[in-house]
Structure 1
């Protein structure tokens, strides 16, 4: 852990990870039930899914504690792994027919509402900026507009899926959410120390080298 980061921000992020884990478990269980899976089969799939996620979390946590992601002299920096591996996994899932069937059974309103956690993340980022851990550019006061997606998510979900607002607005909303997310991911990457850094002034982004913030790019970012 970074001793300069107030402990309550770390605790809040860990709690957020557990909330996401519960949400994933509920979503998978609901989707499998809709597909007609029996209790034994659902339990097996849920166990395998949970073990896979926990293994990934433990591996990234262990590497963070070892200092592996604090090496910014390599080319590319080790932290790049946290961006590449989740992207590869997401591409694999999107091409997997079984996952596609499961995803289609989950209410789209749930997927929209899940974007609300961006508000919590942005408030954490703001607190880290106030404590001079990250630059202003990485917050909603700079180039990070993710908080808007989080704030509007419940309204888009309600009016698109419980009222008569066209569902195309939900698609547009998701596209905007992806663009905003790619923006902050780019800002975060080009704020790390070393040759890759493009954004000044303010502190370099060393946040992802520490537990539990390693889980932002390794787990939370791919989820939302």
Structure 2
């Protein structure tokens, strides 16, 4: 755990992670399928176990040790299990049933979580634990997704003034923004494939609590966009 950072940065990020968990739980509880709504508590419990497991690994320096090893430990014990879960959901009939039952309105509101994430990244840059290119002062424009999400939700569903094609385009744009920061963050890690930020590599995201960004928050946001795109394309 990084002890040289102002405590408010870790506190805000932990609260952001908990907010992500609660917002996703709210998404499931608003499913149009009663059987899936009944599973919301079990799914939330599984996510809490995942957060606890990755926290223990981070606190024991699993992710930031032997950084020359390949594949990186953050991939094997953090990112890949989350991505595999998403793949299985889309690849199985039960998974697709779950996906198609989730409410688009709540999923779009979930993207507001990207606002505090971007603030935390900027504070981490000021404290020299991530490079500037990972912030809105550099190459990261992901905050646009968070700021625009309430407007898309309100005018797209509350007022029905945005067509599904516009909402679909918004999802593709925001997915592109997410991919952009993920690529830059990965290539800024102090691992063999590093390409950027050699003067100030991305070290914060290998430590607790910021490990929850790549292993939990980003997969949730990615899943939300993929679910939205699938539903919007099917309805079109």
Q: Do the structures match in fold with TM over 0.5?
A: yes
1:141 aligned residue: 137
1:89 aligned residue: 85
The SS at the match of 1:70 is coil
Q: Which runs of 5+ in 1 are unaligned?
A: none
CA distance in 2, matches of 1:156, 1:186: 26
2:229 aligned residue: none
2:26 aligned residue: 26
1:183 correspondence with 2:177 = no
CA distance in 2, matches of 1:175, 1:42: 28
Shift of 1:200: 2.8
2:125 aligned residue: 129
Distance 1:36 1:195, change over 3 A: closer
1:65 correspondence with 2:59 = yes
Instruction: Work out whether residues 146 and 180 of structure 1, in 8 Å CA contact, stay in contact via their aligned partners in 2.
Output: yes
Q: Which runs of 5+ in 2 are unaligned?
A: 222-236
CA distance in 2, matches of 1:53, 1:149: 24
The SS at the match of 1:73 is coil
Q: What aligned pairs does 1:1-224 form with structure 2 within 5 A after superposition?
A: 1-31=1-31, 34-37=32-35, 42-43=37-38, 45-71=39-65, 72-81=67-76, 82-161=78-157, 162-224=159-221
Distance 1:134 1:48, change over 3 A: same
Shift of 1:86: 1.3
Query: Deviation string for 1:17-54 (max 9, x for gaps)?
Result: 211222222222221xx3244xxx855x2332122112
Shift of 1:85: 1.8
CA distance in 2, matches of 1:21, 1:194: 29
Shift of 1:102: 3.5
Distance 1:113 1:42, change over 3 A: closer
Work out the number of aligned pairs and report it. 218
Shift of 1:159: 1.9
Query: Deviation string for 1:84-109 (max 9, x for gaps)?
Result: 22111111112233343343333312
The SS at the match of 2:30 is helix
Q: CA RMSD in A?
A: 1.8
Structure 1-normalised TM-score? 0.90
Shift of 1:135: 0.8
CA distance in 2, matches of 1:36, 1:47: 13
Instruction: Work out whether residues 4 and 133 of structure 1, in 8 Å CA contact, stay in contact via their aligned partners in 2.
Output: no
Worse-superposed segment, 65-74 or 160-169: 160-169
CA distance in 1, matches of 2:57, 2:179: 25
Distance 1:202 1:152, change over 3 A: farther
Structure 2-normalised TM-score? 0.86
